Amino acid sequence: MKVLLFGITREITGQSRINVPEHAGINTVKALKGWLGQQYPALRSLSSLAVAVDSEYAQDEDTLTPEQEIALIPPVSGG
């Protein structure tokens, strides 16, 4: 599963895209956030961290599959 990164999450991880290994067994939004927080503890200090699936905000209990476009959404600040 690939996860797209923007803004401060791209800076924290040093990557614009992370590959989550299959053996990590990630299949929900909540599990993905937990796994990323372990890999990159600085993500846990952000004001908020959302996950988007196919351009829509996802809920913690939503299921993730490899064919979806998954992205990490740090606090937005447009305008």
Partner 1 sequence: MLIKIVEHIDLNEAYAYLQSPEAGAVNLFVGTVRNHSKGKDVVRLDFEAYDAMAIRQMEHIANEAFDKWPLVKLAIVHAVGAKDPGTPVVVIGVSSAHRDASFEACRFLIDELKKTVPIWKKEFYEDNSVWVNAHP
Binding site for partner 1 (CB under 8 A): 4, 6-8, 11, 45-47, 52, 55-57, 69, 71, 73-79
Residue 19 CB, shortest distance to partner 1, in Å, is 18
How many angstroms separate the CA atoms of 66 and 22, rounded?
A: 9
Q: Which residues pair with 2 in a beta bridge?
A: 19
Nearer to partner 1, 22 or 67 (CB): 67
Question: Can you list the pairs that 51-60 forms with residues at least 24 positions away whose Cβ atoms lie under 8 Å?
Answer: 53/29, 58/29, 59/29, 60/28, 60/29, 60/30, 60/33
Nearer to partner 1, 11 or 60 (CB): 11
Residue 18 CB, shortest distance to partner 1, in Å, is 15
Nearer to partner 1, 24 or 68 (CB): 68
Residue 4 CB, shortest distance to partner 1, in Å, is 7
